[in-house]
Amino acid sequence: MNGELWINLSVKDLEKAKAFYSAAGFALHPRHEGSRDAAGLLIGEKKVTVMLFPEEAFEKFAGHAAADPKKGSEVLLSIGAASREEVDGIIRRAVEAGGTCFCEPKEEQGWMYGAGFADVDGHRWNILYMDMSRMPSE
C-alpha cells in the first residue's frame, strides 16, 4: 500500500456541499475545480482526501444504495485540531455555513477538547484537540 487514503461520501447536491465545506474552512482540492461530478477536500498535513460524489455516482462506485446519514451514521469522521480555538472556529464556521452542532465544545478526561458537527447532508464530523502534556500516564 502506498499510504494514501481517500474517503468517499455521497451528497445530495454537490454545489451545496462544496459551498458548505468552503464556508466551514475546508480546503477544496484544485484537481476538481469546476467539476460537476466530484469534489475533493484536503485534510491535514498528509492531505487525506475526502471525496464528495453525487449520490448516483457514489452508488455506482459502491455497488449498492448510499446510506441516509440523517437517519444513522455509517462512519464518524474525526479530525485532529491544533488548539481549542481551532475546534471552536471549525464548529462555529460549520454552523454558520448551514451545518448543525450535535456535540457542543467540551473538555473530556482533562486533556481532550472536542465538538461535533453534521454537514448539510448529515455526515458527522468530530473535531478534537488533544493536549498531550496533560494526558494521564497509565
- The three state secondary structure string of 10-48 is EECCHHHHHHHHHHCCCEECHHHCCCCCCEEEEECCCCE
Specify the pLDDT at position 118. Answer: 96
Q: Where exactly are the structural domains of the chain?
A: 6-64+73-130
Handedness of CA 16, 22, 47, 76 (dihedral sign): negative
pTM comes to 0.87
Specify the pLDDT at position 132. Answer: 85
Specify the pLDDT at position 32. Answer: 87
Report the CATH number of the 6-64+73-130 domain.
Answer: 3.10.180.10
Walking along the chain (138 residues) 10 residues at a time, the average pLDDT comes out as 79 96 93 90 86 94 91 91 96 97 94 96 95 82
